[in-house]
Structure 1
Amino acid sequence: MDLLKKYDHLYFIVGRTLLGLYFIVPGLSKVYDFMGTLALMRMKGVPLSSALLPLTIVLQVLGGIFLILGRSLRPTALMLFGLTIIINIYIHDFWALAGDSGQAHETQNFVKNLAIAAGLLVLATKDKR
């Protein structure tokens, strides 16, 4: 058991890095397909999509970088938690797809994002600064 505990710091860095990448990559993909993402947000009924898309990009990219660097972990993790929940409700609305072939996929994305949100809450408890 002590051997595993010896690497706790490494596990923490790897975990933060993977969570950070989880936000950076989608943030950058929104930049590369800005109009497509904006169209999706409008189709899903996201209010103020034109203003919220650039804000989402900034929050995802900078939030991901902060997670990787281990800076301001608590506020960053809590902010990304809130963002993930909001995105989940608007974009992965599996309940609106009853009978649609995409319902299973959106259900999977919804539950996966709940797990990511849970991980962010756990991470928020680890900020020692």
Structure 2
Amino acid sequence: MNNLNQQASTLPLIGRILLAAIFIISGLGKIAAPAATAGYIAAMGLPLPALGVALAIAVEVGGGILLVLGFQTRLVALLLAAFSVVTGLVFHNAIGDQNQLIHLLKNFAMAGGLLQVAAFGAGLYSLDARKARPAPATA
């Protein structure tokens, strides 16, 4: 494999890891402090905060791990993109506050990167690519 092909094969993996990191770390933070997260959800006026915490953990940690592994990557990327947009609009909509505006734009930027993953797939180094390869012929 030449250098250009090596880079083209490696860059999607690196991109998936970088995109997944924020979800996994955020989900682990919610596992470490579920009451604080539930309080934040309740303060935003959303119903069933405990369920919201559980769903957020499942999406963030589960989706992040699946993204790193490159399993069902297009679907997972679409789910995480939608999650990013919705949570940005719900939790960071006070755009008069520069910090909240930055968080909202960060969520939108993550969604944009995830839509690229959804459009172009996981790349060579992924479980998706592995299952798409034909099995070697046996004699």
TM-score (norm 2): 0.81
Q: Kindly state the Cα deviation for residue 11 of structure 1 after the two structures are TM-superposed.
A: 1.0
* Corresponding residue for residue 86 of structure 1: 86
- 1:54 and 2:54 correspond: yes
The residue aligned with 1:32 is 32
Root mean square deviation of aligned Cα? 1.7
Tell me the distance in 2 between the aligned counterparts of 1:81 and 1:46.
21
- Aligned pairs for 1:16-27 within 5 A: 16-27=16-27
SS class of match (2:20): helix
Amino acid across the alignment from 1:118 = G
1:53-73 CA deviation, whole Å, 9 max, x = no partner? 101101110100011001101
Question: How many residues end up aligned between the 2 structures?
Answer: 122
1:14 equivalenced with 2:8 (yes/no): no
Runs of 4+ in 1 over 3 A off after TM superposition: 2-6
In structure 2, the gaps of 5 or more residues are 123-127, 129-139
Structure 1, unaligned stretches of length 5 or more? Answer: none
Q: Assess if the C-alpha contact under 8 Å between 2:38 and 2:49 holds in 1.
A: yes
TM-score when normalising by structure 1: 0.86
1:122 pairs, out of 109, 116, 119, with: 116
